[in-house]
Structures are given as C-alpha cells and as structure tokens.
Amino acid sequence: MTRSSVNPALTALGYAPEDRVVIFHADDLGMTEATVSAYSELEGRSALTSVSVMLPCAWAPAAAQVVRARPGADVGVHLTLTSEWDACRWAPLSGPEPDLVDAEGYFHRRNEEARQAAPAAVARELRAQLERALAWGLDVTHLDTHMGAAAWPPFLPDLVALAAEYGVPPLYLRHGAAGWEALGFGPEEAQQAAQLGQALEARGFPLVDHLRMLPLDVGGDHAALTLELARELPPGITHFILHPASDTPELRAVARDWPARVANFEAFRSPELRGELEALGIRLSGYRPLRDLFRRRLRERAGSGQG
C-alpha cells in the first residue's frame, strides 16, 4: 500500500532504508484527567515517544502544564472537529460557529457531520487550536487529527498551508491510492490523497510510511499485542497510535472504550516494553527530528525561491 521507493525523510535522518523507525504516539491528551495522569507517568520512562493535545477539551491546561515541564518532549496538536461522547463534551475555540456545532452547542459527534462544514470555518478553528498551543508556550512538533475528521480532502489545502506557515509537519501517510482506499476513502478521494502526498513530499513535508494502532475495542494484554505488531512492521517510519488513560471513575463515565484505553496504558507502563521493542530492532523516534528536517527544507526552498 506504501509507495515502493524509500521514504526520503528516513534517509535524511540518517537511517538505512531497511530500518524500522516507530513513533509511539499517545492521542487525546487533555480529553480527561485520566489522560493527563497516564501521560505524566509514561513520558520519559517508557516506549512512548510522542503525544498530541486536544486544545478544546477541559483538561488542556493541565496537559500543557505537564508538557511544558518536560522541555524537549514531543508534543503535537490533535486537531479536533468532533466531540464524540455523551457525558463530557467540548466545543470550538473559535466560537459557536453554526457549521462546527450540533444542536447541543458542541462539536458534532461524528465525522459525517463534521465534514459538512465550510472549509473556511474549519480552517479558522484549526488555526485557533494551533495558535493557542503556541501561545501557551508549547514547542509544537506536529499536527494530527482527532478521529481523522480534519484529514478530509476539502479541508487539506488550508491544513497544509497552516502546517507550512508554522513549520509544523502534519501526520500524512506516504500511501498510494490503494493504501488510501484501504483506509476507507472512495476511489477518487484516494487518488487525490495519494497525489497530495507526492506533492507534499516534493515540497519537503516529511511523511510517514505506515500507520498502526492498538485496538480500542478490546482490553487484555496490549503489551503482547504491541510486540506482535512491531515484529511484523515493514521498513520505514511508522506512526503507532495508542490512547493511554488511567483507570478512574471519570474515564469510565465518559468513554465506553475505557477498558482498551486502560490496557494501552498498562502495556506502556511495563518497564520491559521499551527494551523488548529495541531487541526487535525497532528504532524509537518522535516527531522532533522530522519537524526540524521540515523546517530546514522550508528554509532551503525559501532560499532557492521555490516558495
């Protein structure tokens, strides 16, 4: 599903073409207190190498506080256009824009509704989220999208422009059309997504080769599962998603999938996991080297007048 050529970002960072580089990435930081306490425990002492923050959520201030206390830690903005639960919800930072909210005043619950919004309203909101993270003193390393809602063809031109403006790479897959179709895109959208990837790479955007995720539908031993997924990884850069959270009454009250989130957390709490991954030959990385590479490429192009 990935294009057969070697990812130029892989070699630019000094890796060999056969190296398997993995970004172990915690989504949803700030959604609940349970995400903040879990991240605080994992960051710097586990296989976790990156995280992204949901700025519209109530616990974003606590999330920012723990990230700022770890200078050099990776931190992305988890661009958010949906508020999917019932008990605890969140709304746009840019105000009660009718396109972005449901009848209750929060972001829509599902991508289907969120993706009906006018691209200009989405662009304003995504900019507000990134700019708030920067205003709060976060050294933002990347952008990714909550439930993939913002990773939608009509929204991508503005998202890409925002990423280039601030020199913050978006999570973007180095997939051919077949790879995008396998992710649920229709044939035409898959073709567009693949073409956009090629255009981005030509402009110096670092892309990732593979996407993996620990399941959200089952609990159990996710450390064994992580090792199994890692063992089978092909060469290239993998963005590996987990949703770690502490087992608390708050988490259980908001998220039906709490057993999986707790299992994600328990797997990465294991003191052995990092060594076991490294023993498999996995090279752990965050987005910071990719972000710095992106900024060098943007400067080179600006210098050469390619804009």
- Binding interface with a copy of itself (CB under 8 A): 32-34, 36-37, 57-62, 65, 86-91, 93-96, 103-106, 132, 135-136, 246, 248-250, 253-254
Q: Please report where in the chains the tokens 């993270």 appear, as a residue.
A: 133
As measured in angstroms, the least distance from the Cβ of 250 to a copy of itself is 4
Comparing CB distances to a copy of itself, the nearer of 22 and 251 is 251
> DSSP assignment of 17-68, as one string?
TT-EEEEEEEEEETSSHHHHHHHHHHTTSSS--EEEE-TTSTTHHHHHHHHH
CB of 69 to a copy of itself, least distance (A): 13
Cβ closest to a copy of itself, residue 9 vs residue 254: 254
Tell me which of 25, 210, 222, 243 is the catalytic residue.
Answer: 243
Residue 7 near residue 237 (C-beta atoms within 8 A)? yes
Whether 144 sits among the annotated catalytic residues: the reply is no
**Is position 146 annotated as part of the catalytic site?**
no
Catalytic residue among 25, 27, 146, 175: 27
Q: How many CB atoms lie within 10 A of CB 203?
A: 15
* Comparison of 88 and 183: residue with beta carbon closer to a copy of itself: 88
Q: What spatial distance separates the first Cα and last Cα of the chain, rounded to whole Å?
A: 30
Give the shortest CB-89-to-a copy of itself separation in angstroms.
5
Provide the β-strand partners of residue 20. 236, 282
Please identify, using beta-carbon distances, which residue of 17 and 95 lies nearer to a copy of itself.
95
d(CA 233, CA 293): 24
Residues identified as active-site: 27, 243
